[in-house]
Amino acid sequence: MKSCHYESKPLNALGKITWSAEENALWHQLVERQLACIEGKACQEYFDGLSMLNLSIEHVPQISDINQVLKKTTEWQLEPVPALIDFDHFFTLLASKRFPVATFLRSVADFDYLQEPDYFHEVFGHCAMLTNKAFATFTHLYGKLGVNASKAERIYLARLYWFTVEFGLIESSGQRALYGGGILSSPAETEYAYGSDVPIRKKLDIIDVMRTPYRIDILQPVYFHLETLDELYELENVDLMACVRRAMSLGLHPPSYPSKIA
């Protein structure tokens, strides 16, 4: 597992995190910028969830406050974790409807981009979508599948998560909307995924997705889209592990990006 130069903050006896004045100011700047960026671009389900959460703009919100809303809507809960966790821990949490959240906030130096998922990414990018039943149901299903998958199978499953939960789009009647947390928490990715003519956008096909390689440190060259979020419900009726085995037998597509230079 790769190391992270950030360290998660502990919760105190009251279940709260002590955020500094500098971190509160940084949160304000991050949220204000991204709210302006996603206006007219994020899907309605995201904005509905954001309204339910009623996240503070002035200071970093507490996990306990977010959990109250998630409990009422989809019975999910946020689980504070170290900066990085292994796949076993990750899948076990999702399978029990607990979404892992690293309790650190990026520094000013990493204001525009941070490779590790920080508190802003997890809370602003994902929590609004976790209030949506279709999204929450799929995330739970994904966790349950991952718990029993082999190491090799998990790599193929990870691509399904990447191109939906992190970088998913909706395309319906010529209209485009964003729902992936990796897009919604990044101004550069928001503009690129929504409006650029450079990336390839494809209708989501499970085996195609599982065969598509990706890099975490670049703007995505390929995005997959649904017509509606309710399509995520349909994945409960698909033998996703059979799809994994089929994708493994076919092998990966050639990457649509240059190799990373060490």
Cα 223 to the chain's mean position, in Å?
Answer: 14
> Which residues are known binding-site members?
121, 126, 166
The three-class DSSP label of residue 11 is strand
Instruction: Measure Cα distances from 32 to 24, 28, 56 in Å.
Output: 12, 6, 11
> Which residues are known binding-site members for Fe cation?
121, 126, 166
Contacts of 228-232 with CB under 8 Å at 24 or more apart are 228/170, 228/172, 229/43, 229/45, 229/132, 229/134, 229/135, 229/170, 229/179, 230/134, 231/134, 231/204, 232/134, 232/135, 232/137, 232/138, 232/164
Tracing tokens 């909706």 back to the chain, one arrives at: 170
